Amino acid sequence: MACNTAESDSVGAEPLSGLARAFFYAGERSLVVSNWDVLDDETANLMSDLFRISSQNKSLSHGEALRQTQLNMLNNSKNNEDAHPRVWAPFVVVGEPEKPN
First to last CA, the chain: 32
Comparing CA positions, the residue from 56, 59, 61, 66 lying closest to residue 29 is: 61
Q: Is residue 13 part of a domain?
A: no
H/E element, 18 = helix 18-25
Q: How many domains does the chain have?
A: 1
Task: State the pTM of this model.
Answer: 0.75
Q: Is residue 2 part of a domain?
A: no
Alpha-carbon gap, residue 15 to 89, rounded angstroms: 19
Q: What is the pLDDT of residues 50-66, one digit of tens each?
A: 999 999 999 999 999 99
Q: Is residue 100 part of a domain?
A: no
Q: Is residue 73 part of a domain?
A: yes
Expressed as residue numbers, the domain containing 59 is 18-95
What is the chain's length? Answer: 101
Who wins on pLDDT, 101 or 91?
A: 91
Strands (E), 1-101: 30-34, 91-95
Q: Is residue 29 part of a domain?
A: yes
